[in-house]
Amino acid sequence: MSSSSTPAISITGLTKTFGTTRALDRLDLQVAAGEVHGFLGPNGAGKSTTIRVLLGQLRADRGSGELQLLGGDPWKEAAHLHRRLAYVPGDVSLWPTLSGGEVIDLLGRLRGGLDEARRADLLERFDLDPRKKSRTYSKGNRQKVALVAALSSDVELLILDEPTSGLDPLMENVFSECIQEERERGRTVLLSSHILSEVERLCDRVTIIKDGRRVESGTLADMRHLTRTSIDVVLDEPPRGLDLLDGVHDLRVDGTRARFDVDTVHLGDVLKHLGGYGVRTLNSQPPTLEELFLRHYRTDPVGAR
């Protein structure tokens, strides 16, 4: 199935308005079968709205471009297409009186069955007690219930909306392993997130949206120019010539201390240069996605860059 040539998700020119608010504005999104696709954007960019249109829960504006999910129409054929996909919502709400195990079974059966061995394995790996009533689960545990229900199903496409927002780092690792396995099994994954490192670790290709529009799409290698590292370094002597190096931005030199951002592709050259001045301490920080957006996609039409 992974070798099938039809894309798992194909969206062109999708618009969705709520009253006067335009949540999605001619959005494009292409996800090929068999790939793990990162869907990035700051809060309120339209990630969840896109996903809910894909699930047939929201109706795209009339005459607003083309929309295909697993080769079908997500609005008209919703129930039929949903046999072939599993979904983890960003905000998992469960039935308070049902146990986690019951919820997993129910969602699996409504989709058309689940893999028993995988269910047991996932419960163990996510360290989830299926006998507890949903009312007593924490946010992270509710998310685990939804993840186990989705991952133990036998489907072609997984749609995950910020699935790790409530998980601790240990469980984030388990989640990453699971996604790697899904990739090996040839399943398609759409992973929405606002955590850049998570997407970098897991995804083959990435689409970035902001204000309901696609601003960037491609492989991570294509996106190298997006990633800058912030450096804060103290040297033996005041550095010279940093401003002449390629890829150095926002440089501030204060005696022997220098603070600047550097394009990740040029990081090696810059470090070599700094070595000449004797590095005492060096602090580097990957940029947050929010910073990237501020830097690259300011919405002002003047186009300062």
Report the nearest approach of another protein to the CB of residue 107 (Å). 6
Cα 99 from Cα 181, distance rounded (Å):
27
Q: Is 69 in the site for another protein (CB under 8 A)?
A: no
- Residue 101: which residues within 8 A CB-CB, separation 6 or more? 130, 131
Which one among 25, 102, 204, 269 touches another protein, defined by CB under 8 A?
102
Nearer to another protein, 160 or 262 (CB): 160
Cα 182 from Cα 154, distance rounded (Å):
11
Chain residues 132-191 in contact with another protein, contact rule CB under 8 A? 132-133, 135-136, 146, 159
Number of residues that bind another protein (CB under 8 A): 42
C-alpha radius of gyration, the chain, whole number: 22
Nearer to another protein, 161 or 182 (CB): 161
Instruction: Give me the amino acid identity at 298.
Output: R
Report the nearest approach of another protein to the CB of residue 80 (Å). 7
Q: Is 111 in the site for another protein (CB under 8 A)?
A: yes
Q: Is 276 in the site for another protein (CB under 8 A)?
A: no
Which one among 58, 242, 248, 289 touches another protein, defined by CB under 8 A?
58
Q: Is 96 in the site for another protein (CB under 8 A)?
A: yes
Q: Is 76 in the site for another protein (CB under 8 A)?
A: no
Strands (E), the chain: 9-18, 21-31, 36-40, 66-69, 85-88, 157-161, 188-193, 205-210, 213-219, 228-235, 248-254, 257-263, 279-285
Q: Is 215 in the site for another protein (CB under 8 A)?
A: no
Nearer to another protein, 49 or 217 (CB): 49
Q: Could you tell me the CA-to-CA distances from 257 to 148, 178, 206, 245, 260 in Å, in that order?
A: 49, 43, 36, 17, 10
Q: Is 83 in the site for another protein (CB under 8 A)?
A: yes
Instruction: Give me the amino acid identity at 236.
Output: D
Q: Is 122 in the site for another protein (CB under 8 A)?
A: no
Q: Is 209 in the site for another protein (CB under 8 A)?
A: no
Which one among 1, 44, 66, 80 touches another protein, defined by CB under 8 A?
80
Backbone angles phi, psi at 145, to 5 degrees: -60, -45
Part in contact with another protein (CB under 8 A); list of ranges 37-45, 74-82, 178-186, 267-275: 74-82
On whether the CB atoms of residues 153 and 109 are closer than 8 A, the answer is: no
CB atoms within 10 A of CB 77: 14
On whether the CB atoms of residues 2 and 169 are closer than 8 A, the answer is: no
Q: Which residues bind another protein (CB under 8 A)?
A: 52, 55-59, 78-80, 82-83, 85-87, 89, 91-99, 101-102, 104-107, 109-112, 130-133, 135-136, 146, 159
